[in-house]
């Protein structure tokens, strides 16, 4: 089973993914997590001022590889980010006029179109508390909302089945997810 947790930056995806993985492991499942890769990207990325289509293509490619590897190691894979939200950042770079090699654009679109439906369950997190500076990610709430809107657009255009998870402590969110995936 592959569970995708999607949403714009700073919505609690990572902490929820780890809480869910811990609960599943406590229940005896062989669960693993794919992590966020933006900090590892060798091309500047992470904010609206430090970004490019090439960086976002690298991140999407890495996401795909990690999901394939995790599927071979775990019966339950929790994806901290998905190709959907990573594609939203890629799309944002194109919409702002950044130039990209047409082959990269086509490849990234193909990945999204062929991979977005590969998640057994998708959970979208809403924008949460005010952005806190962490020395890496953007603290511009306007950009956060813009990416969130792009994610919603991608979901709607591809008719993806999304489970929206309300703001709540992670223990409540995990309980809600377990009910949806029929493990509660």
pLDDT tens-digit readout, 142-167: 899 999 999 999 999 999 999 999 88
C-alpha dihedral sign at 139, 145, 148, 149: negative
Asked if 7 contacts 124 with a C-beta cutoff of 8 angstroms, the reply is: yes
Asked if 56 contacts 45 with a C-beta cutoff of 8 angstroms, the reply is: yes
**pLDDT tens-place string over residues 166-182:** 889 999 999 999 999 99
Give the predicted TM-score (pTM) of the model.
0.94
Residue 124's H or E segment, with its range, is strand 121-124
Q: At what angle do helices 102-115 and 53-71 cross, to 10 degrees?
A: 30
Q: Which CATH superfamily, name and number, covers 2-180?
A: P-loop containing nucleotide triphosphate hydrolases (3.40.50.300)
């Amino acid at each position: 089973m592959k569970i995708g947790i999607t949403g714009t930056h700073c919505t609690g995806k990572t902490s929820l993914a780890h809480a869910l993985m811990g609960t599943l492991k406590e229940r005896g499942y062989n669960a693993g997590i794919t992590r966020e890769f933006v900090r590892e990207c060798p091309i500047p990325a992470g904010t609206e001022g430090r970004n490019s289509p090439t960086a976002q293509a690298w991140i999407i490619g890495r996401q795909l590889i990690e999901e394939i590897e995790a599927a071979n190691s775990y019966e339950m894979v929790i994806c901290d980010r998905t190709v959907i939200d990573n594609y939203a950042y890629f799309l944002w770079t194109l919409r702002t006029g950044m130039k990209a090699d047409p082959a990269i654009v086509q490849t990234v679109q193909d990945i999204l179109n062929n991979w977005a439906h590969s998640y057994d369950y998708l959970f979208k997190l809403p924008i949460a508390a005010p952005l806190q500076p962490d020395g890496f990610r953007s603290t511009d709430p306007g950009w956060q909302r813009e990416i969130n809107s792009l994610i919603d657009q991608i979901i709607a255009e591809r008719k993806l089945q999304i489970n929206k998870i309300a703001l709540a402590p992670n223990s409540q969110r995990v309980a809600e997810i377990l009910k949806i995936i029929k493990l509660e």
